[in-house]
A and B are shown apart, each in its own frame.
Chain A
Amino acid sequence: MPLILRRDFLLAGPGFASTISPPLKRWGVKVIDAHDHLHHHGSPEWRENDRKLIDAADRLGIDQLCCSILPPERPTTLDGFRECNRWLAEAIQRFPGRILGYCFVNPGYTKEALEEIRRYVLDRGFIGIKLYNDYQVTEPVLRPVVELAIELRIPILQHAAHTSWLSVPQPRLSDGGHLAALAGRYPEAMLICAHICGGGDWEWTVKALRNAPSVYLDTSGSVADDGTVEMAARVLGADRLLFACDLSMTTSTGRIRGAELSDADRRKILGGNMQRILSRRG
Chain B
Amino acid sequence: MIDVNAYLGHFAFRRLRHNTARELLELMDRKGIERAAVSSASSITYRNAQSGNEELAVEIKAHRDRLIPFAVLNPAYAGWQDDLKICCEEFGVKGLRLYPRWHNYRLTDTAAIELAHRAAGLGMAISIPIRVEDRRQQSWLVDVPDVSHEEIAALIRAAPEARFILSNGSGFLSSSLGRPNNGLPANYAIDISLLTAVLANELGSLLGNLGEDRLVFGTGMPFHYPDVALTKLEALEAPEPVKQKIARGNAARILGLR
Contact = CB atoms under 8 A, between A and B. Distances in A.
Contacts of A251: 228, 231-232
A200 B135 CA distance: 8
Nearest to B17: A227
Given A13-B247, A164-B138, A56 B199 contact: yes
Interface stretch (A3-11, A129-137, A185-193): A3-11
B137 A202 contact: yes
Interface string B218-258: 00111111111111111111001001100110000000000
Contact of B228 (A13, A14, A161, A250): A250
A15 interface: yes
Interface stretch (B27-35, B56-64, B106-114): B27-35
Nearest to A202: B137
Nearest to A16: B243
B167 interface: no
A164 B243 contact: no
Interface in A47-79: 49, 52-53, 55-56, 59-60
A196 to B, nearest CB: 11
A224 B137 contact: no
Nearest to B225: A258
Interface centre among A20, A227, A247, A259 (most CB of B within 10 A): A227
Contacts of A163: 136-137
A257 B227 CA distance: 7
A23 B18 contact: no
Given A13-B244, A16-B244, A226-B221, A250 B231 contact: yes
A250 B202 CA distance: 12
Interface stretch (B42-50, B122-130, B190-198): B190-198
Interface centre among A23, A55, A163, A250 (most CB of B within 10 A): A250
Contacts of A14: 1, 32
Nearest to A11: B34
Contacts of A7: 34
Contacts of B229: 254
B32 to A, nearest CB: 5
B198 A59 contact: yes
Contacts of A55: 198
B139 A164 contact: yes
Interface in A169-184: none
Contact of B136 (A49, A52, A199): A199
A225 B227 CA distance: 11
A152 B196 CA distance: 38
B233 A254 contact: no
Interface residues of A, number: 48
Nearest to A229: B225
B16 interface: yes
Contacts of B138: 164-165
Interface in A73-103: none
Interface in A2-42: 6-7, 9-11, 13-18, 20, 23
Contacts of A146: none
Contacts of A56: 198-199, 235
A226 B16 contact: yes
A222 interface: yes
B137 A223 contact: yes
A23 B234 contact: yes
Interface centre among B16, B134, B223, B247 (most CB of A within 10 A): B134
B164 to A, nearest CB: 22
Nearest to B31: A258
Nearest to B144: A165
Given A16-B243, A56-B199, A250 B136 contact: no
B247 A16 contact: yes
A59 B29 CA distance: 26
Nearest to A248: B196
A203 B14 contact: yes
A16 B234 contact: yes
A266 to B, nearest CB: 12
B151 interface: no
Contacts of B34: 7, 10-11, 13
Given A13-B244, A16-B244, A258-B228, 4 more contacts: A13-B1, A56-B235, A164-B143, A250-B231
11 contacts: A10-B32, A10-B33, A14-B1, A16-B234, A52-B199, A55-B198, A59-B198, A60-B198, A200-B136, A251-B231, A253-B231
Which 9 A-B pairs rank lowest in CB-CB distance, beginning with the nearest? A258-B227, A254-B228, A258-B225, A254-B231, A10-B34, A56-B198, A224-B224, A16-B243, A254-B227
Interface of A: 6-7, 9-11, 13-18, 20, 23, 49, 52-53, 55-56, 59-60, 161, 163-167, 198-203, 222-227, 247, 249-251, 253-255, 257-259
